[in-house]
Amino acid sequence: MKQIIIDVLDTGEIKLETLGFTGKSCIKESEFVKNLLGHELERELVPAYYTQNNVNIKKYLPLCG
């Protein structure tokens, strides 16, 4: 099941999380919410972003820290 989760923090910051999407579809499907809420400050891509039709299209993710 595909879900878009919106979390409003005490600081007023809004976090958007997508579940059940693969590839770039998560960005396309959640674009309308981001347009309603304002500009995007940060984006964190999860491993599902690099998967399309259950095929891993990128083997390694950059690590920070």
Query: How does pLDDT run across 10-64, given as a tens digit for each residue?
Result: 998 888 888 888 888 888 888 888 888 888 888 888 777 777 665 555 555 555 5
- Per-position DSSP letters for 1-63, written without gaps between them: --EEEEEE-TTS-EEEEEES--TTHHHHHHHHHHHHH---------GGGGEETTEES-S----
Tracing tokens 């590839």 back to the chain, one arrives at 23
Whether residue 57 contacts residue 49, with contact meaning beta carbons closer than 8 Å, is answered with: no
pTM, to two decimals? 0.65
User: The tokens 């059940």 sit on which residue?
Assistant: 20
